[in-house]
């Protein structure tokens, strides 16, 4: 049995961290669903920028929208929604079979809004309305300004993928916002069944460790340790009286999602983070390269819950270097926000360059 199917049987959803028009039109995504147990996908500006740069799949659509007077963010969101609607339809049978737990695709609000709560709320509501798909998450960053936007979006009935989380503390803040939104819906007599995932970024911890810390933490152990700590907080929250009350009212659990799980270290195994983060009732969203590598494996790692003592040892060694986990998590979130913003500018520049070329060739 393939490792991908074993993860599915364990209770972990495997989502593809990629989408391109070619992936859809070639039938490749449909094949991944059938053969590699892929049950959802995520997207980001970098993925779209590379797809537009490295193929002509979007040329006709860009030309048509350009002639209609579309440009910039408006043009991009139309392109992205065309792809993501098609992907959402492919995953709709999974969504229906799991009662809305699985079968999701994700589209993020503009990263330029990361520090603007009100604008993030407006953008989330508009994108959700434009998507017209029940299984499309709107990605909102778990930044200080994003947390209240998450609560308001959930209260308004918008499914949310909380992104840019880096620690158990970040996860708990996102979970608190999600639960407040659900509690407000119940108090208002609304349906509490609004889905959400909380995306915790893993590999960036180890990139930071290699750059800034001592040899002891340069063995790709820090990201996994943080994940173990976060998974413990996740299980404790789901066992809490507060969550159990919401579950009895019909609320869906906000599932924990492992993001940034492609191996950055060329000396490390290609499925390092997939093997290490096998855990029930979670999601792992992985790059296409990692998915294909995993598809050649016939075994998975041990359950994540068995390694809590290991995580404590790693975190303790971090403290010995006078580095506080929460402080480094905040730094990583700020860096992630800046990286997403740069990717967004690169994407818009790529669309502008493409429209210039296409306008000259019409």
Beta bridge partners of 282: 12, 256
CA distances to 22, 58, 78, 112, 181 from 83, rounded to whole Å, are 10, 10, 9, 22, 29
3-state secondary structure at position 258: strand
CA distances to 20, 27, 236 from 86, rounded to whole Å, are 11, 12, 37
In whole angstroms, what is the distance from residue 307 CA to residue 89 CA?
Answer: 38
Contact 291, 16 (CB under 8 A): yes
In whole angstroms, what is the distance from residue 272 CA to residue 284 CA?
Answer: 12
Sequence-distant (6+) residues with CB within 8 A of 138 are 106, 107, 108, 109, 124, 127, 128, 153, 158, 159, 160, 161
- Tell me which of 53, 139, 193, 232 is the catalytic residue: 139
Is 139 noted as a catalytic residue in this protein? yes
List active site positions: 139
């Amino acid at each position: 049995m393939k490792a991908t199917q074993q993860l599915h049987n364990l209770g972990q959803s495997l989502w593809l961290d990629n989408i391109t028009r070619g992936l859809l039109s070639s039938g490749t995504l449909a094949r991944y669903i059938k053969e590699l147990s892929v049950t959802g996908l995520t997207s980001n500006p970098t993925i779209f920028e590379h797809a537009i740069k490295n193929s002509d799949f979007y040329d006709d659509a860009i030309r048509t929208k350009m002639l209609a007077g579309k440009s910039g963010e408006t043009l991009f969101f139309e392109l992205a929604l065309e792809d993501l609607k098609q992907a959402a339809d492919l995953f709709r049978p999974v969504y229906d079979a799991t009662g809305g737990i699985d079968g999701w695709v994700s589209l993020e609000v503009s990263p330029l809004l990361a520090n603007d709560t009100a604008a993030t709320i407006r953008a989330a509501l508009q994108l959700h309305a434009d998507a017209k798909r029940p299984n499309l998450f709107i990605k909102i960053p778990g930044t200080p300004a994003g947390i209240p936007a998450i609560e308001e979006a959930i209260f308004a009935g918008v499914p949310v993928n909380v992104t840019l989380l880096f620690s158990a503390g970040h996860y708990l803040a996102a979970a608190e916002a999600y639960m407040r939104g659900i509690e407000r819906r119940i108090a208002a007599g609304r349906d509490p069944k609004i889905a959400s995932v909380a995306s915790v970024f893993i590999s960036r911890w180890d990139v930071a460790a290699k750059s800034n810390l001592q040899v002891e933490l340069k063995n790709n152990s820090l990201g996994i340790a943080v994940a173990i700590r976060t998974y413990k907080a996740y299980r404790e929250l789901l066992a809490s009286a507060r969550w159990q009350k919401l579950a009895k009212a019909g609320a869906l659990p906000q599932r924990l999602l492992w993001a940034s799980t492609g191996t950055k270290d060329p000396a490390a195994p290609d499925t390092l983070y997939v093997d290490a983060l096998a855990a029930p009732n979670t999601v792992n969203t992985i790059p296409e390269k990692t998915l294909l590598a995993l598809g050649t494996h016939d075994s998975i790692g041990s359950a994540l819950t068995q390694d809590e003592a290991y995580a404590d040892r790693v975190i303790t060694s971090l403290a010995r270097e006078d580095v506080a986990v929460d402080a480094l998590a905040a730094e990583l979130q700020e860096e992630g926000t800046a990286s997403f913003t740069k990717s967004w500018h690169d994407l818009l520049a790529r669309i502008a360059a493409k429209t210039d070329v296409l306008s000259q060739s019409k």
